[in-house]
């Protein structure tokens, strides 16, 4: 059965081979997310920084997600996307709205980004690469 809101791709970046599952955020798809958690090293949440109306939904889903046992050792990257738009919330505003500072059991980082220009994407992925490589050498 195909899922039009699920994409898988593999790539190499920062001398690491990445297997990336892009899971749709629609409410109807969230129940299936846990199917893909086992073996995950990092969670990336991409936020539309202009969507103030859904920020509490994103917060609730993020905290539900990181409490799953299969994600105990993951790092969390939040891309604050669409920073090129005038009405975008800043990364600091999103940090506060999502209560990211209350996350104690996961390394996390928020990265201002713009998918259209690529701004912030390399920095965010570099952060994950550093954290995941650090965990691999520590174990």
Q: Is 82 annotated as a binding residue?
A: yes
Where in 1-139 does DSSP place strands (E)?
Answer: 6-13, 16-23, 42-48, 75-81, 108-112
CB 35 within 8 A of CB 44: no
Tokens of 85: 């738009």
Please give the torsion angle defined by the CA atoms of residues 68, 72, 75 and 77, in that order, rounded to the nearest 10 degrees: 10
The residue count of the chain comes to 139
Residue 81, annotated as binding a ligand: yes
Q: Whole-angstrom Cα distance, residue 120 to residue 80?
A: 9
Catalytic residue among 26, 67, 111, 130: 26
Q: Is 73 annotated as a binding residue?
A: no
Please confirm, yes or no, whether 67 is among the known catalytic residues. Answer: no
Binding-site annotation, residues: 25, 81-84
Question: Which amino acids are annotated catalytic?
Answer: 26
Binding-site annotation, residues for GTP: 25, 81-84
């Amino acid at each position: 059965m195909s899922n039009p809101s699920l994409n898988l791709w593999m790539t190499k970046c920062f001398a690491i081979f990445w297997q990336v599952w892009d899971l749709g955020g629609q409410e109807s798809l969230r129940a299936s997310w846990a199917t893909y958690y086992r073996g995950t090293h990092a969670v990336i949440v991409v936020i539309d920084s202009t969507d103030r109306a859904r920020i509490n939904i994103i917060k609730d889903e993020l905290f539900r997600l990181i409490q799953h046992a299969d994600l105990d050792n993951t790092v969390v990257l939040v891309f604050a996307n669409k920073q090129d738009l005038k009405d975008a919330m800043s990364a600091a505003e999103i940090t506060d709205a999502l209560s990211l500072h209350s996350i104690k059991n996961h390394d996390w980082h928020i990265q201002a980004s713009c998918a259209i220009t690529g701004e912030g994407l390399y920095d965010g992925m570099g952060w994950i690469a550093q954290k995941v490589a650090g965990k691999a050498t520590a174990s």
